[in-house]
């Protein structure tokens, strides 16, 4: 999977290709000192600064017209503390590299999102999450952060040190400083057994509470224009490992991530009227499978078909009603949606602007194939999500502003006050932060 590109013209582009930026210059610091110097130099030149990860956000959260800080020379594990059960990594380390290195040491993170291409800092900064009954987002697994702040100085925070910064900076939106290292909680490497099984949507909604209660990680994909879903249940296992076979890895590994699904989307884009038929055939083609593997290989899979995505967290008890309304909206409309809707959960956490801050949450994600007009679908979906008090993923398409967030997050003012203290001149500002956090 390629990351962001920067052509000769100096244009930066995100993974989905829906955001571009034209930074004045790019810097790839190789040490915390070089990064501090880059921030100080930007201040002298009157430029804004923004660190990017791998550009996997669908919003303009990482875009800058000032100095773009690249992550590739700030990678690798700094230290593993087995007694404390932690690992400290450089900020630009891709999650993939962290997972592989931890597995080699017999260690693992507790929960992951769908992919592992992102950097540890990019993933935490926007609140990247997977699905979990008891275990939460990647940011919720953070035990400490090291940041370069707007004056170029280094600040560390944890549950014991600079606790106000720690509360906010785990999902910091790049607004409070540039992260240089993250300490994560780790645990002994474990196996997960995944059970993937097609199930009618009506049954999933009727039995959602049981499916959620009985499984450590429950999620499902609903296929618009059909009453079908594919469910996935991941639970810890004593083994033995039984990885996905070459032929059986169809849904995640072939359908969602490459060839067949890519072709289906090309056809759907050329002939929108064919989309409901394709969705019906696709959903019926899925069959059940069970496999057991080390955790990160079960949580994640490649996503090679490019798309644009919106995702909202609603209170978990509002999930079934919200999804019924979404289905009714699609059924009533002339929309043609070739991508499944993904549904996941997370327990409440204590991070100021985490989408699960202070409440048990369910996530509903809508996608459209890249190059297909997504505005009408996303606008209609967003109306439903916001009516249920939804909080948008900070890295996925949304149209909300600071007034909305001040209502949606009881601790919003805590975050903006901290930002005023740490970055009064908005050295780390950009247009996205102006919209979402206010001036
Ligand atoms: C195919 C695909 C699958 C995805 N799957 C999931 C999923 O399962 N769950 C989920 O929740 N999200 C998912 N996402 C969204 C993605 O995880 C987030 O958008 C994430 O923020 C991207 O990380 P990145 O490294 O690409 O960061 P970028 O998108 O480059 O940056 C994100 C933010 O982090 C900031 N940032 C980056 N580095 C630093 C730093 N060193 N210090 C301070 N701020 C920094 C940037 O300024 C920006 O504000 C997916 C996205 C794609 C394209």
Cα–chain center distance at 363: 11
Q: In the predicted model, is pLDDT for residue 284 greater than 70?
A: no
Map residue 146 onto helix, strand or coil: strand
CA torsion angle for 413, 414, 418, 424 (degrees, to 10)?
A: 10
Pocket flag, ligand 1, residue 137 (CB < 6 Å): no
- For residue 412 the two structure tokens come to 């919003």
Gap between the Cα atoms of 304 and 117, Å rounded: 11
Instruction: Over range 75-79, report the average pLDDT.
Output: 98
Strands 154-158 and 217-222, sheet pairing: unpaired
DSSP one-letter code for 340:
P
Gap between the Cα atoms of 195 and 422, Å rounded: 46
Residue 244's pLDDT band (cuts 50, 70, 90): confident
Gap between the Cα atoms of 44 and 104, Å rounded: 44
Pocket flag, ligand 1, residue 178 (CB < 6 Å): yes
How many angstroms does the Cα of residue 274 sit away from the middle of ligand 1?
33
Neighbours of 288 (CB within 10 A): 12
Q: In the predicted model, is pLDDT for residue 367 greater than 80?
A: yes
Strands 67-69 and 25-27, sheet pairing: parallel
Q: In the predicted model, is pLDDT for residue 147 greater than 60?
A: yes
Pocket flag, ligand 1, residue 124 (CB < 6 Å): no
Model pTM score: 0.95
Pocket flag, ligand 1, residue 353 (CB < 6 Å): no
The answer to whether 180 and 144 have CB atoms below 8 angstroms apart is: no
- For residue 283 the two structure tokens come to 């959903």
Pocket flag, ligand 1, residue 433 (CB < 6 Å): no
The least confident of 53-57, 82-86, 254-258, 288-292 is 254-258
How many angstroms does the Cα of residue 178 sit away from the middle of ligand 1?
14
Instruction: Over range 345-364, report the average pLDDT.
Output: 98
Question: Residue 56 CA: which ligand 1 atom is closest?
Answer: 26
Gap between the Cα atoms of 20 and 2, Å rounded: 16
Residue 3's pLDDT band (cuts 50, 70, 90): very low
The residue that leads in pLDDT, 264 or 295, is: 295
Residue whose Cα lies nearest atom 51 of ligand 1: it is 56
Pocket flag, ligand 1, residue 89 (CB < 6 Å): no
Residue 285's pLDDT band (cuts 50, 70, 90): low
Pocket flag, ligand 1, residue 193 (CB < 6 Å): no
Residue 301's pLDDT band (cuts 50, 70, 90): confident
Gap between the Cα atoms of 141 and 98, Å rounded: 14
Can you give the pLDDT at residue 112? 97
**Could you tell me what percent of the chain has a pLDDT over 90?**
85
The tokens 């884009």 sit on which residue? 269
Pocket flag, ligand 1, residue 303 (CB < 6 Å): yes
**Could you tell me what percent of the chain has a pLDDT over 70?**
93
Beta strands in 70-190 (DSSP E): 77-81, 86-90, 107-108, 142-148, 154-158, 178-185, 187-188
pLDDT digits (tens, 9 = 90+) for 164-222: 999 999 999 999 999 999 999 999 999 999 999 999 999 999 999 999 999 999 999 99
Can you give the pLDDT at residue 256? 55
Pocket flag, ligand 1, residue 54 (CB < 6 Å): yes
How many angstroms does the Cα of residue 206 sit away from the middle of ligand 1?
33
């Amino acid at each position: 999977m390629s990351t962001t590109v920067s052509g000769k013209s100096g244009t930066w582009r995100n993974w989905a290709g829906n955001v571009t930026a034209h930074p004045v210059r790019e810097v790839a610091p190789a040490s915390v000192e070089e990064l501090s110097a880059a921030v100080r130099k930007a201040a002298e030149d009157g430029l804004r600064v923004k660190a990017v990860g791998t550009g996997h956000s669908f919003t303009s959260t990482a875009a800058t017209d000032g100095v773009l800080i690249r992550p590739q020379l700030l990678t690798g594990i700094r230290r593993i503390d087995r007694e404390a059960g932690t690992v400290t990594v450089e900020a630009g380390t891709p999650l993939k590299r962290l997972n592989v290195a931890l597995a080699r040491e017999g260690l693992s993170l507790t929960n992951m999102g769908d992919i592992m291409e992102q950097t540890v800092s990019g993933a935490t900064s926007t609140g990247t999450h997977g699905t979990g009954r008891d275990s939460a987002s990647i940011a919720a697994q953070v035990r400490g952060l090291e940041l370069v702040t707007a004056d170029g100085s280094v600040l560390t925070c944890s549950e014991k040190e600079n606790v106000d910064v720690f509360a906010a900076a785990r999902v910091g939106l790049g607004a409070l400083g540039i992260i240089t290292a993250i300490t994560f909680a780790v645990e002994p490497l474990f196996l997960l057994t995944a059970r993937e099984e097609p199930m009618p949507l009506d049954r999933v909604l009727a039995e959602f509470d049981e499916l959620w209660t009985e499984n450590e990680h429950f999620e499902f994909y609903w296929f618009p224009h059909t009453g079908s879903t594919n469910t996935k249940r991941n639970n810890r296992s004593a083994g033995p490992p039984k990885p996905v076979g070459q032929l059986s890895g169809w849904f995640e590994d072939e359908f969602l991530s490459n060839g067949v699904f890519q072709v289906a989307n090309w056809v759907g884009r050329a002939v929108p009227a064919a989309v409901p038929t394709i969705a019906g055939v696709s959903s019926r083609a899925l069959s059940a499978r069970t496999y057991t593997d080390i955790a990160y290989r079960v949580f994640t899979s490649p996503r090679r078909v490019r798309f644009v995505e919106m995702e909202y967290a609603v209170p978990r008890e509002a999930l079934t009603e919200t999804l019924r309304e979404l289905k009714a909206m699609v059924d009533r409309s002339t929309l043609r949606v070739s991508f499944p809707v993904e549904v996941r959960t997370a327990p409440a956490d204590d991070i100021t602007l985490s989408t699960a801050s202070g409440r048990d949450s369910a996530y509903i994600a809508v996608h459209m194939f890249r190059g297909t007009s997504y505005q009408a679908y996303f606008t209609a979906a967003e109306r439903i999500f916001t009516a249920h008090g939804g909080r948008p993923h900070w890295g996925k398409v949304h149209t909300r502003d600071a007034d909305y967030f001040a209502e949606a997050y009881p601790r919003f003012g805590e975050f903006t006050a901290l930002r005023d203290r740490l970055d009064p001149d908005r050295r780390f500002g950009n247009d996205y932060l102006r919209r979402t956090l206010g001036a």
